[in-house]
């Protein structure tokens, strides 16, 4: 029987190789053996970072990235019900999506699942979401948080539109904005007047709780 470290290393390799069956099987073993689902998730996120790097270096093509994403998604389906997240003491509703021009929704899916696991109400708009759709949905759903995922740098300037719409509709007091994804940072936050930046899903839960309790 593989030890925990070997098992998670095999999961990491399966995601990089885009081996859907193997990734799912390892996820099932993780759950059956009562191993840490959170550690398995971190391992898969590390693997996706490597996949992204390979894609940037042109060692991987979009089809390779897609099969790695599928492997992670399948494993994640098995792991999701077993996520251990401190439940949110504060109640709130979050509208989440990948900003227009961003069609990779994996990171966003993980964040949405972890926010839900923490007890928050989540409205997931999917990928390629326009600034208008974020703000319209926040109004319609009476959400307190707009969470925006951005993995493509060229799309970052669209944040200006989101912020302007929130101001224009006088929602500043009611709706807070948070961003995440590999194309943004704390600097982006300051530059565009966004309320918070989260480097990963766990931090997103913390920051959202913070924004809600103010």
**Which of 24, 57, 82 is the C-terminal boundary of a domain?**
82
- 104 and 172 both lie in a single domain: yes
Of residues 139 and 81, the one with the higher pLDDT is: 139
Using alpha carbons, select from 19, 156, 45, 166 the residue that is nearest to residue 111. Answer: 45
- pLDDT of amino acid 97: 96
- 19 and 109 both lie in a single domain: no
Kindly tell me if the per-residue pLDDT of 52 is higher than 80: no
Does residue 47 fall inside a structural domain?
yes
Does residue 178 fall inside a structural domain?
yes
Q: What is the mean pLDDT of the chain?
A: 90
How does DSSP assign 68-79, residue by residue? HHHHHHHHHHHH
- 200 and 167 both lie in a single domain: yes
Using alpha carbons, select from 131, 132, 111 the residue that is nearest to residue 123. Answer: 111
Does residue 88 fall inside a structural domain?
no
Average pLDDT over residues 110-131: 90
The Cα–Cα gap between 166 and 176 comes to 9
pLDDT confidence of 1, banded at 50, 70, 90? low
Question: Integer distance in angstroms from the first to the last C-alpha of the chain?
Answer: 49
pLDDT confidence of 22, banded at 50, 70, 90? very high
Domain span including residue 61? 4-82
- 77 and 15 both lie in a single domain: yes
pLDDT in tens, 58-117: 898 878 888 888 898 899 889 988 887 766 666 899 999 999 998 877 778 888 888 888
Range in 88-92, 158-162, 176-180 the model is least confident about = 88-92
User: How would you class 190 by CB atoms within 10 Å of its CB: exposed for 0-12, middle for 13-18, buried for 19 or more?
Assistant: exposed
- 18 and 70 both lie in a single domain: yes
Kindly tell me if the per-residue pLDDT of 200 is higher than 90: no
Angle between helices 20-32 and 37-56 (to 10 degrees): 160
Does residue 152 fall inside a structural domain?
yes
- 76 and 125 both lie in a single domain: no
Does residue 155 fall inside a structural domain?
yes
Kindly tell me if the per-residue pLDDT of 5 is higher than 70: yes
- pLDDT of amino acid 88: 62
The Cα–Cα gap between 102 and 151 comes to 6
At 152, is the secondary structure helix, strand, or coil? coil
- 59 and 99 both lie in a single domain: no
Structural domains of the chain, count: 2
Average pLDDT over residues 174-191: 95
Does residue 87 fall inside a structural domain?
no
CB of 19 closer than 8 Å to CB of 71: yes
- pLDDT of amino acid 211: 94
**Which of 49, 82, 115 is the C-terminal boundary of a domain?**
82
- pLDDT of amino acid 116: 87
pTM for the full model? Answer: 0.76
- 19 and 125 both lie in a single domain: no
CB of 175 closer than 8 Å to CB of 144: yes
- 15 and 65 both lie in a single domain: yes
- pLDDT of amino acid 213: 86
- 151 and 207 both lie in a single domain: yes
Does residue 134 fall inside a structural domain?
yes
pLDDT confidence of 137, banded at 50, 70, 90? very high
pLDDT confidence of 34, banded at 50, 70, 90? very high
CATH assignment of the domain containing 18: 1.10.1240.10
CB of 143 closer than 8 Å to CB of 94: yes
**Which of 82, 107, 135 is the C-terminal boundary of a domain?**
82
């Amino acid at each position: 029987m593989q030890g925990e470290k070997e098992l998670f290393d095999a999961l990491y390799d399966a995601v990089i190789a885009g081996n859907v069956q193997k990734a799912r099987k390892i996820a099932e073993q993780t759950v059956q053996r009562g191993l840490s689902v959170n550690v398995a998730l971190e391992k898969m996120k590390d693997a996706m970072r490597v996949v992204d790097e390979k894609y940037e270096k042109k060692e991987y093509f979009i089809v390779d990235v897609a099969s790695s994403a599928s492997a992670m998604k399948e494993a994640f389906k098995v792991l999701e019900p077993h996520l251990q997240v401190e439940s949110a003491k504060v109640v709130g509703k979050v509208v989440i999506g990948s900003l227009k021009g961003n069609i990779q929704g994996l990171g966003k899916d993980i964040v949405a699942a972890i926010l839900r696991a923490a007890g928050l109400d989540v409205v997931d708009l999917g990928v390629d979401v326009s600034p208008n759709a974020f703000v319209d949905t926040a109004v319609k759903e009476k959400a307190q948080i707009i969470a925006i995922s951005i993995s493509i740098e060229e799309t970052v300037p669209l944040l200006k539109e989101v912020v302007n719409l929130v101001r224009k509709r006088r929602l500043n007091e009611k709706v807070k904005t948070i961003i995440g994804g590999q194309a943004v940072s704390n600097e982006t936050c300051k530059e565009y007047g966004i309320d918070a930046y989260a480097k990963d899903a766990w931090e997103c839960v913390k920051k959202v709780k913070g924004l809600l309790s103010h």
